[in-house]
Structure 1
Amino acid sequence: MNHLHRIFFGITLLLGMASVSNAAPESDWPKKPIQMILSFPAGGSTDVFARSIAAPLGDALGQAVVVDNKPGAGGMIGMTAAAKANPDGYTIHFSALTNQAIAQALFNNPPVDLEKDFISVALVGSVPHILEVNPSVPAKNMSELIGYIKSRNGNFNYASQGNGTLSHLEAQLFMQRIGATGVHIPYKGSSFALPDLIAGNTMMMFDSLTASLPHIQSGKLRPIAIASSERSPLLPNVPTFEQDGMKKFDVENLFAIYAPKGTPPSVVSRLEKEIRKILTNPDFKNKLANQGIHPQFANSEKLTEITIAEQAKWAKIVKTSNIKID
């Protein structure tokens, strides 16, 4: 019996040592900088939001969180790069969730899927979109803009943040609702689209409040209506779509952080914990509110539910609207 006890004790000890050995790489994470991949270029709301979180997250983790912009294909280029990264905790994906749910519905056989190829980490907030025009357009409200668009008989350009983006879908839905046509010019994000809109090369665009706010405040762009359920305190005189006569056109433009599928649970848990601390910091919230960003935390489990719901919602909208990418 004593001999059997010794054998059992030895096996237990070995298993315990193996467990500690296997856990060690996770327990001392991170040991090097972390790459945060996003699907839009520098200067837009996704980039501004991502960088605002990357800096304090890096401070909390003791390693830099380095933002890597990979724009194009409605967000699919960046999302694919993140999904195919080594799931060792050193790559995370800052997702324009609503945009990517739309792209999932619009593209035939998309290469990756937020639900299937990633682990949810945390919802981080939302950024409202605004319908804006070049100041040369003789319209100051929704009814005037609709009348002007119809008078052009399709002879005008409107911009978007790119094929398969929320900006693109909003414009398509808007044109459907008013029974008009125009020429869609897709760009690789706000930072590429805004200069042409300001120059008058395009007439109209749906864009994030964060990216467009400085140009609206300087008078280079004119806001028509905000595509959310409430007015923005930064532009209190700009009505919502519903207030300006177009019902059921509010969109919650969500953002979230994911990790490649297979990332260790301890890493996901640590990220979720630190992100919660950042988003609930009053100074952080006030700073972002002044840029038109609304921080909003939801944990990994809740984000998974939100992701599934967003994909189902936009798949239905795309199907019933019969909208195709250009």
Structure 2
Amino acid sequence: MTHLKSLLLSICLLLSLLGSTFATADTDWPKKPIVAILSFPAGGSTDIFARAVLAPLGDLLGQAIVIENKPGAGGMIGLQAAAKAVPDGYTIHFSALTNQSISSALFKNPPADLRKDFAPVALVGTVPHLIVVNPSVPAKNLSELIAFIKSKKGDFNYASQGNGSLSHLESTLFMQRIGATGTHIPYKGSSFALPDLIAGNTLMMFDSVTASLPHIQSGKLRPIAIAAAERSPLMPNVPTLAQDGMKQFDVENFYAIYVPKGVSPAIISKMEREIRKILTNPDFKARMAAQGIHPQFANSEKLAEITANEANKWEKVVQSANIKVD
């Protein structure tokens, strides 16, 4: 009996020492560069926003954060890669949350899921979308664009950021609402879609304000309407879809940071604290606003709630609209 007690005591002491070692390791994190996986290519709103947040985050953590762009399959390629990473805090996923929620609703058997395979860290903000067209399109507002599209009798192409993306879903819903058809051309993100739109190979696209803004400012693209609840301060003369007659078409386009499930709560808390510092910095907020980005912090607990709500919302939209991935 005495021997058994001695053995149990030794085991408890060992477990205590191991726990202390892991706690110390978590406190010392990070000791090497961190990889951030994105589901969209360089040059789009996800990439632009991610680099703006992750560069100062790396400075605060004392380690570089290396971005890996893994576009394709409606964001599923990047999501799956991040989900399979070792949960040690050295791989994070910068997620276009709204896009990812839509993809999960559209694909029958998604290879990874934000709710099941990840732990939330922090919400980082929103980026509104808008309708942009090639300047050769003889439409200056929404009603003129609808009339022009209908006159084409289905003989036109429209672009999206990819199958299963928010851009794809917005286009599909828009065509359903106006009773028109066209040929959907999916790309692997804005940076691939915009050159063809500028060249006139596609007629229109729902894109982020961030990615389209430089081309709007240069006159290569024309904005028609904002797919959000409010106008963009960068384009005060461009109305929202609701203001131009199409009600209930505003979308909250969320972006957030996650880690693979199993990462230590201590690491998540440390990352969350540093992200809060960045997003609440007035200079950072001003720089982001100039690019059409709205920084918005929410902690891991609130992000878990937002993630679930987005999943439920878009599952209902996809089902009710009978939208299929083409």
TM category (shorter chain) comes to over 0.9
* TM-score computed with the length of structure 1 as normaliser: 0.96
Which residue of structure 1 lines up, in the alignment, with residue 146 of structure 2? 146
Task: Give secondary structure in 2 for the equivalent of 1:312.
Answer: helix
Which residue of structure 1 lines up, in the alignment, with residue 3 of structure 2? none
Per-residue deviation, 1:108: 1.1
Q: Within 2, Cα distance between the matches of 1:109 and 1:12? A: 43
Which residue of structure 2 lines up, in the alignment, with residue 296 of structure 1? 296
* TM-score computed with the length of structure 2 as normaliser: 0.96
Which residue of structure 1 lines up, in the alignment, with residue 87 of structure 2? 87
Which residue of structure 1 lines up, in the alignment, with residue 135 of structure 2? 135
CA RMSD after TM alignment: 1.8
Which residue of structure 1 lines up, in the alignment, with residue 237 of structure 2? 237
Which residue of structure 1 lines up, in the alignment, with residue 33 of structure 2? 33
Q: Within 2, Cα distance between the matches of 1:7 and 1:315? A: 54
Pairs within 5 Å for 1:47-86? 47-86=47-86
User: Given residue 324 of structure 1, which amino acid in structure 2 is its aligned partner?
Assistant: K
Task: Give secondary structure in 2 for the equivalent of 1:55.
Answer: helix
Task: Give secondary structure in 1 for the equivalent of 2:124.
Answer: strand
Which residue of structure 1 lines up, in the alignment, with residue 306 of structure 2? 306
Cα deviations across residues 148-203 of structure 1 (Å, max 9, x unaligned)? 10000000000000000000000000000000000100000000000000000101
Task: Give secondary structure in 2 for the equivalent of 1:132.
Answer: strand
Per-residue deviation, 1:24: 2.6
Q: Percent of aligned pairs with the same residue?
A: 73
CA gap of 1:33–1:174, structure 2 versus 1, over 3 A, is same
Pairs within 5 Å for 1:164-203? 164-203=164-203
Task: Give secondary structure in 2 for the equivalent of 1:93.
Answer: strand
Cα deviations across residues 75-102 of structure 1 (Å, max 9, x unaligned)? 0000000000000000000000000000
Which residue of structure 1 lines up, in the alignment, with residue 163 of structure 2? 163
User: Given residue 208 of structure 2, which amino acid in structure 1 is its aligned partner?
Assistant: S
Q: Within 1, Cα distance between the matches of 2:67 and 2:124? A: 16
Per-residue deviation, 1:137: 0.5
Pairs within 5 Å for 1:205-220? 205-220=205-220
Q: Within 2, Cα distance between the matches of 1:294 and 1:268? A: 23
Q: Within 2, Cα distance between the matches of 1:173 and 1:72? A: 22
User: Given residue 307 of structure 2, which amino acid in structure 1 is its aligned partner?
Assistant: T
Q: Within 2, Cα distance between the matches of 1:252 and 1:296? A: 12
Runs of 5+ unmatched residues, structure 1: 1-5
Q: Within 2, Cα distance between the matches of 1:79 and 1:21? A: 31
The answer as to 2:246 corresponding to 1:246 is yes
Q: Within 2, Cα distance between the matches of 1:173 and 1:244? A: 16
CA gap of 1:16–1:145, structure 2 versus 1, over 3 A, is same
Q: Within 1, Cα distance between the matches of 2:69 and 2:300? A: 24
Q: Within 1, Cα distance between the matches of 2:96 and 2:9? A: 52
Which residue of structure 2 lines up, in the alignment, with residue 3 of structure 1? none
Task: Give secondary structure in 1 for the equivalent of 2:309.
Answer: helix
User: Given residue 176 of structure 2, which amino acid in structure 1 is its aligned partner?
Assistant: Q
Which residue of structure 1 lines up, in the alignment, with residue 258 of structure 2? 258
CA gap of 1:21–1:168, structure 2 versus 1, over 3 A, is same
User: Given residue 92 of structure 1, which amino acid in structure 2 is its aligned partner?
Assistant: I
Cα deviations across residues 69-128 of structure 1 (Å, max 9, x unaligned)? 000000000000000000000000000000000000001111111000000000000000
CA gap of 1:32–1:142, structure 2 versus 1, over 3 A, is same
Q: Within 2, Cα distance between the matches of 1:88 and 1:9? A: 30
Per-residue deviation, 1:15: 5.1
Task: Give secondary structure in 1 for the equivalent of 2:132.
Answer: strand
User: Given residue 117 of structure 1, which amino acid in structure 2 is its aligned partner?
Assistant: D
